[in-house]
Amino acid sequence: MIRSMLFHTGRYMIMLASTLRRPANFRMYWKEIVRQMYDIGIGSLIIVVLISVFIGAVSAVQFNYQMGGTFIPKYYIGYIVRDMTIIELAPTFTGLVLAGKVGSNMASELGGMRQKEHIDAMEVMGVNTASYLIMPKLIAAVTIIPILVCIGAFVSIIGGFIAVVPFGDLSSMDYIKGLRSFFDPFNVVMMLVKAFVFSFILTSVSCYQGYYVEGGSIELGKASTNAVVVSDVLILLADYIIVLLLTT
């Protein structure tokens, strides 16, 4: 097991080194980056918004229930929903969801090209396939996914408002007061750091799984599954490490 981990880690680092080389044709890369940004951003916007609404709503209802019968002011609901969403829920849930949606698509796309020998044909022509196929995906992901995370955080706060204010559990003024209380701008920085790291992890790991796939359709399915599983595990591990580094 350790030998396998070392093998994949080394091959992953070699792939990254080849990917980050200077591209030969910036114009072609730009077109592919725009296409990938559209596919990742527009294609994932609905699912991110939908999940974020329910994350904020459930958080608000849950904290409202837990604060019942205590002397904690009601406006703390807005404060807790805001910080939990910004610091943890928005970047982590978005990363995990996109690892399943975007990551599996990337692994399948590159894996299909490897199986059909498209990648081998480009390598014969002297093309740096790692850079040509993976770099646009990386640039697009680290650009658009943090934007999706910011949208998710904003929508989550709105979801919390919808869950508690219209039903009389909390007034709109109290919820807004909670949102404006004890705000620390560094929490937004932490959210963006997580978003950048998570987007890099889910994209590079998924591309690695697809780029080196071997065999037929069964192996391609396993590669797509591994892309999601490994990305999710590394995202959770990176989440823990980032929190340790930025809060201690």
Q: What is the pLDDT of residue 200?
A: 95
119 falls in which pLDDT band (50, 70, 90)? Answer: confident
List pLDDT tens digits, range 9-21: 888 898 888 888 7
Distance CA 198, CA 95 (A): 6
pLDDT at residue 98 is higher than 90: yes
Domain boundaries, the chain: 26-247
Q: What is the pLDDT of residue 25?
A: 66
Q: What is the pLDDT of residue 24?
A: 63
In SS3 terms, the chain reads as: CHHHHHHHHHHHHHHHHHHCCCCCCHHHHHHHHHHHHHHHHHHHHHHHHHHHHHHHHHHHHHHHHHCCCCCCCCCHHHHHHHHHHHHHHHHHHHHHHHHHHHHHHHHHHHHHHHHCCHHHHHHHCCCCHHHHHHHHHHHHHHHHHHHHHHHHHHHHHHHHHHHHCCCCCCCHHHHHHHHHCCCCCHHHHHHHHHHHHHHHHHHHHHHHHHHCCCCCHHHHHHHHHHHHHHHHHHHHHHHHHHHHHHHC
pLDDT at residue 36 is higher than 80: yes
List pLDDT tens digits, range 159-217: 999 999 888 778 889 899 989 888 889 999 999 999 999 999 999 999 999 999 887 78
Residue 202 contacts residue 103 (beta carbons within 8 Å):
yes
Residues belonging to the chain: 248
23 falls in which pLDDT band (50, 70, 90)? Answer: low
The average pLDDT across 132-156 equals 93
67 falls in which pLDDT band (50, 70, 90)? Answer: confident
Residue 139 contacts residue 199 (beta carbons within 8 Å):
no
pTM: 0.91
**29 burial via Cβ count (<10 Å: 0-12, 13-18, 19+):** middle
Residue 147 contacts residue 41 (beta carbons within 8 Å):
yes
